[in-house]
Each structure stands twice: as C-alpha cells, then as structure tokens.
Amino acid sequence: MLFSSLIFIMVFLPVVFFGSRILRKNKYVNIFLLLASLFFYAWGEPVYVFLMLASIIVNYFAGLSLDRYRSHSRLILTLDIIFNLGLLGFFKYASFGTVVLVEYLHVQMEPLAISLPIGISFFTFQIMSYIIDLYRGKFPVQKNIINLALYISFFPQLIAGPIVRYEDINEQLENRTVTIEKSTEGIRRFILGLGKKVIIANTVAEACDRIYYSDVSLLSAFPVWIASILYTLQIYYDFSGYSDMAIGLGKMFGFEFLENFNYPYMSKSITEFWRRWHISLGTWFREYLYIPLGGNRKGKVRSYVNLMIVFFLTGFWHGAGFTFIFWGLYHGFFRVIERLGFSRILEKCKPLAWIYTFFVVNLGWVFFRVGGLKNAFIMVSKMFNPSLPNYYTLGELMSHRCMLAAGAGIIGWGIIQLLPEKVPAVKKLISNPVLQYIWCAVIFITCVMLLASNTYNPFIYFRF
C-alpha cells in the first residue's frame, strides 16, 4: 500500500487516525497501531509479515537475554547480529550471489529467484540499532513486546524509512501526547510530502523512464543529460517526499521523527552532501560501522580505508548489484579526495564548489539508475560525446507539464527556501496560516486528481 495511493489516503489513514483518537490511552493505541501496521505491511506482503513477526520475537528475547545474562552479552549480541544480517543477506543478496557464481565463476547451478520483502533493509537496521545500543547500555531493555513490535513495524517509517533509532523514540512509545497543533502540523507535512511525490517525482519519472527505456543507439548527449537531471529530481522528490510523509504521519500519532533530508542539492562538497542526504542512513553507518572500525582515530590511511568500507556497504545496502557497489565506491572516492585536501580548494570558491558537487552527484545517479555497469558506462560515454547526432527535441523528450514540474523541482530543492532569510516580507507572507491552509488544500486536491486519473506512480525506495 503506497502512501501516494487513494486507498491509503481515503480509507486506511482516516480509519487508523480516528481509531487511535477514540482509544486515547497509549497502551491501547499502541496495540491498535501495531495491528494496523501489520495489516499495512500484509497488504502488499501477506507472507512476509510472518517473517517480520519472527524477527520481532527473536530480537525481543535477544534483548531480554542481553539484560539478564550480562556475562554472555557479547556472544548474545554476535548471534543476534548474525541472525539479522543472515535474514537480510538471504532475502536481498542470495539471488545476486548465485548469479555471480553462474555468470562469472561458471558454477553449474540454477540461479535463485527470491522475492525481496518490502522494506527489509530499513526494519533490519532499526532492529540492529536497538540491540547494539542495548548492549552498549544506552537504555533499559524493552520488556513490553507490543511496544518493541510497534517500534519495529510502525507503518509511517516501515517501508522506506527514515531509519529511527530506538533511543530517539523509546520515551514516546509510552509517554506521548497528540495535540491539535501537532496533528495539524503533521497533516501539513504529509500533504507537502505527497505533493513532492505525486506532482514532481511522478511527473518527471515518466519522461525519465521513457528516455532510459528507449533505443540506446538513438541516444546522444542531449537526451542522456536530460534523463540524468530528471532522475536527479525524481529520486530526491520521491525519497524526501516519502520521508516528509513519514514524519508528518508520525506527528499525527504523537511521534517525533528526526529529519532525513536537508536540501542536499545545495551542498558544496560530497562530504556536505552526505550530511544532508538520507541523514538517518548516514548516521546509522557512522554510529554502528565507521566509529567501531576506528573512525579517524587510527591515522589518516586507516580513516580512508574505513570510509571506503562504509561507502562500499552503503552502495551494497541500496541494492544487490555491481552498479550500486560502484555508486557507493564512487562517492567514497570523492570523500577521500576531499579529505586529502580538495575540500580546502572548494572552500575558496563556493559557486565552483556547488557546480562540482552537483556534477558528481548527478553523474553518480546515472550508475544508480541504469541496470548493469556496461550500460551505465555507455550512457556516461554518450554524455561526454557531443559529436553524436541528436534525434530528439526538448519537446519530444518532455511534456509541458514535465517542464513545469522540473522547473518547480529545481527551484524547490533549496533555492526558493533562501528567500525568507533574505526578504523579511516573504517570510511574513509564507508564515500566514490562512495562506498555508490554502496552499495545502491546492496541493492535496491536485494530488487526488492526479492519482484518480491513474497517473504514473512508481516508488523508488520500496525496492531497497
């Protein structure tokens, strides 16, 4: 069930929201939200909901064992991590592993075809953060299995994040209040995220996919550059829109989730980009991998190696394929280059720093989007070969609606947000609650009309 679907907006969400308001007491609301979350997950994955339940039960008892048998805590932690990574590895990477064995090592076997449980990467990382931080003694063990199960399966962040750490939400599981102001802000945030997804991401996705699925022999530098920019817009507005919707939904039920995006395309280095993009994932890898590996405490060379390990796994986390691995190492390479001293050069010329960062990020998305390294390199080679004949005009590649959506996306990725800081009159205007309500109503009605007309509605991060 997509957030950007009429069944969710018109049926599921109102029933769950008003049902939770009727129950009022958090212990009853938690049971209700847990059942609603399991139903939400089972809507698209009826079989794999049992996998999630099994994971919840195993990790619940692992937590109790950590608390009770402190002398064996390291062994318990190790076994639990093996269990969690084993599940993730089997369902997400086993098929890829057998393809590698057959195609590259010529092993005689049938490649496995295992369907990927939706959101397994996200809820596995949440479970592991709970167990690891419990081992570190950051909080007491959660003895209420309902509360732990709700933390793991809560539907707003279940499918595509943000990755919520238990220490950021444990108090809210039992002690939270839902006010009219918080619910109103949650609805507003949800609508803005919905608008990002439906009005911008979906619109540019249709044109982007049309180019990438066209005859490669007919593509030249112009359409490939257009496709790369459109995908740069699509993935940001798709994923940040989902995060906005998740944060808004959390507020509607009294929860506060941390921000997951902070205008990443305004970054002036790749280091800054990763402080602004998918913040919850970057925080997870820093806290549970980079720092335990030694971080930058064991010398420069070791810190560079640690960075490359982190970005290798960041790419691999996104998908079982060489393009994702390359994309991760590609970003890791530029992080290392910046640490070697290039960042000091970037600080001297901010416009050049922004151009460099956007160029690197945009080029990286080509590898992220195109299936297969060979095809990705073909696309990139076309981007830098202006001598190829161009068979397309801009009007043939993009509809007028797509052009408007792309223009709005470029302005909205951080440029227009600078106006209130520079022009006080603009800040006063946009803070007017009446205008905000009108703006949200226009966005919501537009989204419902587009969804009702069966507008193209993909969701990139569901496959991660």
Q: Cβ distance 139 to 170 under 8 Å?
A: yes
CA within 13 Å, CB half, 180: 0
Burial class (CB in 10 A: 0-12, 13-18, 19+), 357: buried
- Distance in angstroms (rounded) separating the CA atoms of residues 379 and 235: 18
How many angstroms separate the CA atoms of 347 and 269, rounded? Answer: 9
- Say which residue the tokens 């803070």 belong to: 431
What value, to the nearest 5°, has the Cα angle with vertex 102 and ends 101 and 103? 100
Tracing tokens 């999630």 back to the chain, one arrives at: 52
Helices (H), 255-399: 270-276, 279-285, 300-318, 322-337, 343-346, 350-369, 373-383, 394-397
> CB of 310 within 8 A of CB of 290?
yes
What are the tokens at 382? 């076309």
For the chain, first and last CA: distance in Å? Answer: 16
Chain Cα centroid distance, residue 138: 26
- Token pair in block for residue 31: 């049971």
The two three-digit tokens of residue 297, written as one number: 């405490």
Rounded Cα–Cα distance for residues 167 and 174 (Å): 13
Name the active-site residue from 72, 106, 278, 318: 318
Integer Cα distance of 96 and 319 in angstroms: 10
Cα 88 from Cα 123, distance rounded (Å): 10
DSSP H helices, 136-179, are 145-153, 155-158, 170-174
Structure token pair of residue 327 = 């994309």
Q: Could you confirm whether 331 is annotated as catalytic?
A: no
Q: How far apart are CA 316 and CA 327, in angstroms?
A: 9
The Cα 170–Cα 159 span in angstroms is 20
Write the burial class of residue 452 (CB in 10 Å: 0-12 exposed, 13-18 middle, 19+ buried). exposed
Catalytic residues: 318
